[in-house]
Chains A and B, each alone.
Chain A
Amino acid sequence: MQQFLTTALTGLTLGMVYAAFALALVLIWRSTRIVNFAQAPMAMITTYVALVVIDAGYSYWIGFAVALVAGLVLGAVVERVVVRPVEGKSEINAVILTLGLFIVIHALAAVIFGSRYRSFPAPFGLRGFQVGDLNLAITGFGIFTIVAVLVVMALLVALFRLTDLGLMMRASAFNAEVARLLGVKVGRMLTLGWALAALVGSLAGLLIAGGSLVHPSYMDSVVVYGFVAAVLGGLDSPAGAVVGGLLLGVSLSFVSGYVGSELVALAALVILMLVLLLRPGGLFSHAAERRV
């Protein structure tokens, strides 16, 4: 019982982070048909920004906020400077550019921040709660992780569902030409989409780093899990990305807890293969296709 609970709760926390990262990939994919491979190093570099701010003596929260804003700006800059020039050409051009960016940001981080491991603080306790004689594996930071991701998702849903801006962003994603004819400045919507995606990616980066170690490649495995989660959910559906992330987090946690932690990466790839073989459109290809 103890182990089952621990495994499930760890999986849930991890799943939330994968969900956020998958959501970042999906936001870009559904508006531009580009898989942003640079999402991981972009999140990594913003986490370093937070670390610099915190090391300079500011609180965790200031570092946290600065990193999210940095993510927003970085996303917009990447869209304007790197992706925009190849817009309208084959998507593979942009995908290769994001791969190049992956390497460039990595190298920059190593040059600027060094490539050694550095510890990253957490704003809440990292010890589990005691309920009766059960020692719950959920930590204060774990709860913060879940809440933070839920809050960001709720804000995104509110933006897309309730505001004119969100309506224009969705219209641009679904049918750019029609949106343009209706007066939507599609280019700006794309920039904003990249900015928001990078913000969500940065959040995932900060949450993984909390109470742990950062290093220029600490996010690299997350891009794999985030991608698997996004494919699980169908790549086009933000809701699917969230469910995919949670499913993946819990499944991998059980593999790690009951089978062996060395098999986690393999299990993720097996899940990816099974999804692509059995339901290439994602688990929700019929029910939740292209819904926000």
Chain B
Amino acid sequence: MLQVQDLTTSYGPVKALDGVSFEAPRGKITAVLGANGAGKTTLLRTVSGLIRPARGAAYLEGADLTRTPAEAMPGLGLSHVPEGRGVITELTVEENLRLGGLARADRSRPADLERVYTLFPVLSDRRRALAHVLSGGERQMLVIGRALMATPKVLLLDEPSLGLAPRIVAQIFDLLRGLVESDGLTVVLVEQNARSALSIADFGVVLNLGRLIVHDDAATLAADEKLRHAYLGF
């Protein structure tokens, strides 16, 4: 579904991403793991067109994403939820959601809003409230809901568990799993929290200092004690 080929991104002389290739298959969750500075966020930012790569490409159904401006991504079926959640706190909950649906040709239909509200009843209670008042978990639900408004084929999620209580993380991951199974959504999940991520992912990619170390089944990675100690911290 999403093919990353030989992707290399440099910040000046530093290669943040060095020749990374893998494929995230359709209807599966691929977890991208690794320590701080491994290049996980850079990978997502390069795939979604926020940074130009020095070399390589990323393909979604044949279209090269790295040669496409970021604002064209939702139209191609890719939604990127950036690190730090990306809630626009000055807008209301419903305005954030509506914004997510605007990129589509048919614009956001009320039915989609209702679907997101059904998925996340907490948001439904706060439609008119400024997103500013939401808790961390609610913000994460809001940005996932907002990304779903564009009915993406591929969802890139950057550290959704960051700063959230384990119970909330479990809730959000369950919901993601459900979406993948019901809608056939393809998810690329960047996580520091490798243990939780591998528990819901189908596949895992481990990065270290910009290079791909291993790409395998999530269960295989979770069972590899050496790898866990060396790169995953559990």
What is the interface of chain A, defined by CB distance below 8 A to chain B?
A: 164, 167-168, 170-171, 174-175, 177-186, 290-291
State the interface size on chain B (CB cutoff 8 A): 26
Contacts of A178 in B (CB 8 A): 82, 86, 88
Contacts of A171 in B (CB 8 A): 88, 91, 99
Decide: A164 and B70 in contact? CB cutoff 8 A.
Answer: no
Among A171, A177, A178, A184, residue most surrounded by chain B Cβ atoms (within 10 Å): A178
CB closest residue in chain A, given B89: A174
Decide: B71 and A168 in contact? CB cutoff 8 A.
Answer: no
Instruction: List B residues 59-73 near A (Cβ within 8 Å).
Output: 69-73
What is the interface of chain B, defined by CB distance below 8 A to chain A?
A: 48, 50, 69-75, 79-80, 82, 86, 88-91, 95, 98-100, 102-103, 107, 146, 150
Whole-angstrom CA separation of A72 from B107 in the bound complex: 28
Whole-angstrom CA separation of A291 from B90 in the bound complex: 7
Decide: A182 and B82 in contact? CB cutoff 8 A.
Answer: no
Whole-angstrom CA separation of A36 from B91 in the bound complex: 25
Total A-B pairs, Cβ < 8 A: 67
Given A167-B95, A168-B99: A186 touches B88 (CB 8 Å cut-off)? no
Given A170-B91, A177-B50, A290-B90: A184 touches B82 (CB 8 Å cut-off)? no
Q: Which among A164, A177, A182, A290 is the interface contact of B107 at CB below 8 angstroms?
A: A164
CB closest residue in chain B, given A236: B90
Whole-angstrom CA separation of A171 from B71 in the bound complex: 13
Decide: B90 and A182 in contact? CB cutoff 8 A.
Answer: no
Contacts of B90 in A (CB 8 A): 170, 174, 290-291
CB closest residue in chain A, given B143: A178
Decide: B82 and A183 in contact? CB cutoff 8 A.
Answer: no
Contacts of B69 in A (CB 8 A): 180
Contacts of A181 in B (CB 8 A): 48, 50, 70-71, 73-74, 79-80, 82, 86
Given A167-B102, A182-B102, A184-B99: A175 touches B72 (CB 8 Å cut-off)? no
